[in-house]
Amino acid sequence: MSYKQRIAERAARTVSTGMTINLGIGLPTLIPCYLDQEVQLLIHSENGVLGAGKAATQENAHPMQIDAGGGYITVNKGASFFDSATSFAIVRGGRLDIAFLGALEVSEKGDLANWIIPGKFAPGIGGGMELAQKARKLIVVTSHCTKKGQSKLIPECTLPVTAKKCVDMIITELAVFEIKNDELFLLEIARESSLDEITEKTAARFRIRGKEIPEF
Amino acid sequence: MSYKQRIAERAARTVSTGMTINLGIGLPTLIPCYLDQEVQLLIHSENGVLGAGKAATQENAHPMQIDAGGGYITVNKGASFFDSATSFAIVRGGRLDIAFLGALEVSEKGDLANWIIPGKFAPGIGGGMELAQKARKLIVVTSHCTKKGQSKLIPECTLPVTAKKCVDMIITELAVFEIKNDELFLLEIARESSLDEITEKTAARFRIRGKEIPEF
Amino acid sequence: MLPLNADNKMNKLTSYTEAISLIKSEQSIMVGGFGNPGTPMTLIEGLLKSGVRNLTIIKNEANEPGIGISRLVEKGIVRKLIISHLGLNSRVIEMMNNKQVEIEFHPQGILAEKIRSGGAGLLGIITDIGVDTIIADTRKVVDFYGQKAILEKSIRADVALIHAAAADTLGNLCYTKTAFNFNPLMAQAADLVIAETFEVLEPGGIDPDHVHTPCVFVDHVVHVENNPRLYGVLAHHVL
Amino acid sequence: MLPLNADNKMNKLTSYTEAISLIKSEQSIMVGGFGNPGTPMTLIEGLLKSGVRNLTIIKNEANEPGIGISRLVEKGIVRKLIISHLGLNSRVIEMMNNKQVEIEFHPQGILAEKIRSGGAGLLGIITDIGVDTIIADTRKVVDFYGQKAILEKSIRADVALIHAAAADTLGNLCYTKTAFNFNPLMAQAADLVIAETFEVLEPGGIDPDHVHTPCVFVDHVVHVENNPRLYGVLAHHVL
């Protein structure tokens, strides 16, 4: 299992029946592969669909039916299509139970930076700002550190933020954190990792509740 | 022919093929009866229909298909139904070639008052303010004088206005006026009337173009 | 009628009694409809009998005397109406004049946009409608890029009562004829959205291209009878 | 294909050549689509060959290199893009970095609302999206009922190029699947609206309940071929 699959598998367990969720481009799109078969949920994609199903194959891909990342999708019974105004009415109206997004940086108070590295990387804003600011629960799914080995969880974001105090949970290949009342808590440790490793690789200050930290 | 029919008959001649029009409640709804059969147009009703047809009868009235005044209507081929936001997007977006409205008062500069008599009559705003302010052409169809015999065309509105400088044309049972660059012009005189009668019954100042004033 | 299924969170089919019991006194309630079409007559009947009071009702108009929300106003359980006009309801106009009900008027399309804006998670809209009229006296007027403009605040409500032509059990709705009006807007703009419908379908029963209100906005679907007493043609409006 | 009828103002069926000839250099042009679905590929081809230049294009994204409006940008005939993101178009990102094209970014749903607001005859919208970010530095930030808010101005354009699944000759449009996206919004927000479609129907061919864009917004309907080269499945996006 790759580190991405590990994260997606854990993230899938945050989802339960009846929820409406949005999956950011990249890692988040792996989450549906790990969902319990019993879970009935609605997947929203910001290009204008509610009730997205599995990725389409060569055989059933329809040229007019994609997700926000451009991948061809199937839809489930009871799906609906709509325009971009309605699609973001769902987002800004607080109708998403969970949005999963990637991150460049997350601050210990839950600020998220994932849309711009000034002078280097500026593909635009897309739907991220609205998803970050308005989803009922925002779960960041990301590698624990950058490719250069630096902690993505830091005391304060150095990059321009996508939204402030928006992140509720962070799932990395090493740990699960939650942010409550502007404080970062370590909730779970990956069975391949340890508190020492997490402490070493996490620049943000975090707290621990109770004595035992569950594994995932 | 009643005075209302006289007005409606003249108003119908302002409409030509390809136009989209809105008919206010009351007198304006008589206009379609006098349209040339050759004229193809779209009738908009602000409760959410484009392509309204004739009034429905006992036989073909559908309980879910009315105009903004509550009357049951038929619809023509190519009609569409939509919500109230879209309906007023048509109005405010300037997509109505003509709106026909009644009036309590019209000033010589084209201010319209037709929604409130403070302390006496205040049924609300409805769609009138948006129709008056945003139709490409606003034609007031009204009796020339109030029931008490006072001119409805006056130098300045005494009642709270619906919109300022919005009226383009006024059709009464006695005359047709147009307002151009804040000036009122007498365009036509009813064959039953005379310039003397109009002068006597019109409190607003008006001008005449040329020597002959056509009859209608 | 499909079976109600309390175990399945994705099934929003709810009994009439249960749905009505969710509405409380003092709440703000959006009610769909423009004239009879699209007015959720059966849900309004339920409200009338439920004992709630001190309601704030948001609707296009107050229906006609003895019909729809006019009955709620006439019963004295409506504290305030946020509305576009009362043109067809002399009884409610009289109650307004007698200060038996508070009325807040808005231009019709602006009322629609304020509600839509609430449903779209916006704070409000910027418009020039009414800038030259007395309604500007009670609005937030600003200069917006050199133009006189009104900042209109979004409206949301505790509850929205919707009439849909058909619904599936997930809560997808579609409307018909002139019964769309305020329904699709209000269905997005309340914390609790209850839709009555004559026809309940299984998921997949509505073409995904023809869903007018996506199910995520709807909390409860109530199957009601097309009772001619409530939904029939009004003889006095036929030519 | 139905006959073109110049004498009948109610028939909006227009030849491809004539429709393209109406678009001029220096104009602002809204282009529907999110990825390939809903992108009016044939009208864009026409624009590419027509000799127009110095365009301002308003679109969700710039398609992918070699596809859709990316070809207009690559050809150097686009002065400015008003857009939500360029995530799938490294070529246009490079041109942006080299200052070969000016880019104005907006949050996706706010771009949608600015366009919708233009189409709805509003002056703008009021939102809290981005208030705590650097985008607020270039926006009109105000206090709105005690809350930090951005006043966003409506966007309208000279031209809108729309892709519809079907149209009737009056100009009523309907969309399908994820090809709605910005099309219904842009179809209301331009002075000249040209819709391409694979299917042209007689009036009455679209159920009045299922019309997504009422004909009053549409000026020209162009019947185009469903050319697999332009509209086919992109192999690199299939799993």
Q: Is C110 on the interface with D (CB under 8 A)?
A: no
Amino acid code (one letter) for A57: T
Residue D4 confidence (pLDDT): 47
Neighbours of B205 (CB within 10 A): 11
The values of phi and psi at residue A125, to 5°, are: -90, -40
Pairwise CA distance, residues C164 & B82, whole Å: 13
Please name the helix (run of DSSP H) or strand (run of DSSP E) that holds residue D168, with its range, or none: strand D166-168
Pairwise CA distance, residues D13 & D11, whole Å: 6
Spatial contact of C22 and C220, defined as CB atoms under 8 Å apart:
yes
Task: Indicate the residue of D34, D165, D237 with minimum beta-carbon distance to A47.
Answer: D34
Residue A26 confidence (pLDDT): 86
In which residue are the tokens 């233009």 written?
D118
Which of C177, C160, C156 shows the shortest CA–CA distance to C221? C160
The rounded radius of gyration (Å) of the Cα atoms in chain D is 18
Which of D136, D127, D150 shows the shortest CA–CA distance to A92? D127
Pairwise CA distance, residues C77 & C72, whole Å: 6
CATH code at B3-208: 3.40.1080.10
Residue A141 confidence (pLDDT): 98
**Which positions in chain C touch B64 (Cβ < 8 Å)?**
36-38, 165, 176-179
Q: Which residues of D40-77 are buried (b: 16+ CB within 10 A; e: fewer)?
A: bbbbbbbbbebebeebbbbbbbbbbeebbbbbbbbeeb
Question: CA of C235: which chain B residue's CA is closest?
Answer: B58
Pairwise CA distance, residues A27 & A111, whole Å: 20
Spatial contact of B183 and B209, defined as CB atoms under 8 Å apart:
no
| Section A92-111 average pLDDT | 97
| Contact check, Cβ <8 Å, D125/C126 | yes
**pLDDT tens digits for range B99-130:** 999 999 999 999 999 999 998 888 999 999 99
pLDDT of A210 over the 90 cut: no
pLDDT of A85 over the 90 cut: yes
Q: Which residues of A81-114 are buried (b: 16+ CB within 10 A; e: fewer)?
A: bbbbbbbbbbbbbebbbbbbbbbbbbbbbbbbbb
pLDDT of B48 over the 90 cut: yes
Spatial contact of D101 and D57, defined as CB atoms under 8 Å apart:
no
In which residue are the tokens 């590698």 written?
A143
Task: Indicate the residue of B49, B76, B89 with minimum beta-carbon distance to D119.
Answer: B89
Please name the helix (run of DSSP H) or strand (run of DSSP E) that holds residue C93, with its range, or none: helix C90-97
Question: CA of A60: which chain D residue's CA is closest?
Answer: D238
3-state secondary structure of B112: strand
Q: Is the ipTM of this complex over 0.85?
A: yes
| Contact check, Cβ <8 Å, D215/B40 | no
Q: Is C9 on the interface with A (CB under 8 A)?
A: yes
Beta strand pairing call for B20-23 and D28-31: unpaired
Which residues are CB-contacts of D54 (< 8 A; sequence separation ≥ 6)? Answer: D25, D26, D77, D79
Q: Look up residue A208 and give its two tokens.
A: 């621990």
Alpha-carbon torsion, ordered B91, B92, B96, B98, to 10 deg: 100
How many interchain CB pairs under 8 A, B with C? 158
Residue D10 confidence (pLDDT): 87
> How far is C38 from chain D, CA to nearest CA, in Å?
14
Q: Look up residue A179 and give its two tokens.
A: 């942010």
Domain boundaries, chain C: 16-124+156-224
Strand-pair partners of D85? A124, D61
Which residues are CB-contacts of D52 (< 8 A; sequence separation ≥ 6)? Answer: D23, D24, D25, D27, D77
Low-confidence ranges of chain D (pLDDT < 70): 1-9
DSSP state at residue C136:
G
3-state secondary structure of A29: helix
The DSSP secondary structure of A136-200, one letter per residue, reads SSEEEE--SB-TTS-BSEESS-SSPPSBSS---EEE-SSEEEEEETTEEEEEEE-TT--HHHHHH
Strand-pair partners of D221? D13, D195
Which residues of B have a catalytic role annotated? 46
Q: Which residues of A129-146 are buried (b: 16+ CB within 10 A; e: fewer)?
A: bbbbbbbebbbbbbbbbe
Q: Look up residue A150 and give its two tokens.
A: 């630096």
| Contact check, Cβ <8 Å, B63/C178 | no
pLDDT in tens, chain C (239 residues): 344 454 566 899 999 999 999 999 999 999 999 999 999 999 999 999 999 999 999 999 999 999 999 999 999 999 999 999 999 999 999 999 999 999 999 999 999 999 999 999 999 999 999 999 999 999 999 999 999 999 999 999 999 999 999 999 999 999 999 999 999 999 999 999 999 999 999 999 999 999 999 999 999 999 999 999 999 999 999 97
pLDDT of B153 over the 60 cut: yes
On whether the C16-124+156-224 domain is CATH 3.40.1080.10, my answer is yes
CA–centroid distance for D80 within its chain: 14
Sign of CA dihedral C45, C50, C51, C54: negative
| Section B170-185 average pLDDT | 97
Which of B101, B169, B163 shows the shortest CA–CA distance to B134? B163
Query: Chains that contact B by 3+ CB pairs under 8 Å?
Result: C, D
Q: Please, where are the H alpha helices in D120-205?
A: 183-186
Lowest mean per-residue pLDDT among A115-119, A146-150, D22-26: A115-119
pLDDT of B15 over the 50 cut: yes
Domain boundaries, chain B: 3-208
